[in-house]
Amino acid sequence: MDILQFQTDLHQWYAHEQRQLPWRETTDPYKIWVSEVMLQQTQVATILRYYPSFLERFPTVEALAQADLTDLLKQWEGMGYYARARNLHKAAKIVVTQYGGHVPADYATFRTLPGVGDYIAAAVQSIAFNQPYAVVDGNVKRVLARLLTLEALANDSQHKVHFQREADRLLDPHRPGNHNQALMELGALVCRPQTPQCLICPVRAHCAAAQSARQMEFPKRKPLRRTPTYHIAVGVVQKADKILITQRKPDGLLGGLWEFPGGKVKKGETAEAACRREIQEETELIVDVQHHLATVKHAYSHFRIKLDVFLCTYRSGEVTLHSPVDFRWVTLDQITDFPFPTANRKFIPQLVAHLTSLTVQSGQ
């Protein structure tokens, strides 16, 4: 491949065809960092709904460092992969306390911050500081695999080094930020997974897969294992006009988010019995399970859940927490003040409608 010509063709295309995105209109390293953290696992269309309000709420790294975790998670609610938000929060505190509020303009230093892996480090350093580091994300892997007919497996972390080596080799060191964004943009708009637009592709002349009509053979992947499905029982515990919500531990899956108590249904156990048991184990409350409210299905990256939701009434006991770290008795109106996982948010409208109709019927 003529690398210089490839870079020129890519840049010319990007200069004319790039999407106007808010994070491309700033040179503020903090704002670019936020965008890259969001972009890592979320679609651009979704980020466009979150990015402006997030920056309005936390316009500077100092504002983010001072944020209350619940406030931060509320802003992030619905984007998923909440560890990203928690790590960004921790990293912002370090930037303020150790680097005077300046995002480190040095790859090695920046790479030590929580949540900053190879991708974020290369993206922020190249885009914000013009440092010559090549990004490798899913789009880049696909484009490289097709351009160079790479045999490396795109979904095998041990093969990432092969993609990184090729990305480094093709990187334009004079304009690395634009180069990285152009390659990712090409993957998003032209070299799409199922429908590569080779006829209009600006780098077709350099593409080994297109020239041998083997676009759909790349990238190579190892077969995926089947994702397990877990059956979860959840209880909405009512006590007078309040309902109980609990907060998950700050770290781990969905850390810091609020939810209704519950947990996995054991083998041979009914969902209703699991609901009662889990509430008792997590809070020491004794409840009566009244009726089934909803069944919700949700897919995470490595597993799926089927959630059976029950309405329960408080019978006895004082809340003593075992797994959760905090709890509140809240009214229906207050629920939206708290960040919930998507699987919970899927049934909250149904819960609110149901409890509101009961309130109307009872004339309260």
Q: Which of 46, 53, 197, 323 binds ligand SF4 (CB under 6 A)?
A: 197
Q: Residues 36, 77, 259, 282: which is the catalytic one?
A: 36
User: For this structure, is 25 an active site residue?
Assistant: no
Q: Are strands 229-239 and 258-259 parallel, antiparallel or unpaired?
A: unpaired
Residue (of 141, 134, 118) closest to 221 by Cα position: 141
Shortest distance, position 22 Cβ to ligand SF4, whole Å: 27
| One-letter amino acid of 14 | Y
CB of 170 to ligand SF4, least distance (A): 12
| Number of residues forming the site for ligand SF4 (CB under 6 A) | 15
Cβ neighbors of 161 (< 8 A, separation 6 or more) are: none
Q: Pick the closer one to ligand SF4 by CB: 210 or 355.
A: 210
Residue 116: is it exposed, middle or buried by C-beta count within 10 angstroms (0-12/13-18/19+)?
buried
Can you tell me which of 209, 244, 257, 343 binds ligand SF4, judged by CB under 6 A?
A: 209
Applying the rule CB under 6 A, the residues between 104 and 163 that interact with ligand SF4 are 143, 146-147
Segment near ligand SF4 (CB under 6 A); pick from 2-10, 117-125, 171-179, 201-209: 201-209
Residues 6+ apart with CB under 8 A from 185: 14, 17, 18, 19
Residue type at 146 in one-letter notation: R
Candidates 111, 160, 175, 204; binder of ligand SF4 (CB under 6 A) is 204
Q: Of 198, 253, 321, 352, which one interacts with ligand SF4 (CB under 6 A)?
A: 198
Q: Is 252 helix (H, G, I), strand (E, B) or coil?
A: coil
* Neighbouring C-beta atoms of residue 33, cutoff 10 Å: 27
Q: Is the peptide bond before 114 cis (omega within 30 degrees of 0)?
A: no
Minimum separation from the CB atom of position 306 to ligand SF4 (A): 38
CA angle 167, 168, 172 (to 5 degrees): 95
Told to check if 190 binds ligand SF4 by CB under 6 A, we report: yes
Residues near ligand SF4 (CB under 6 A) are 143, 146-147, 190-191, 196-198, 201, 203-204, 207, 209-210, 215
Residues classed as catalytic: 36
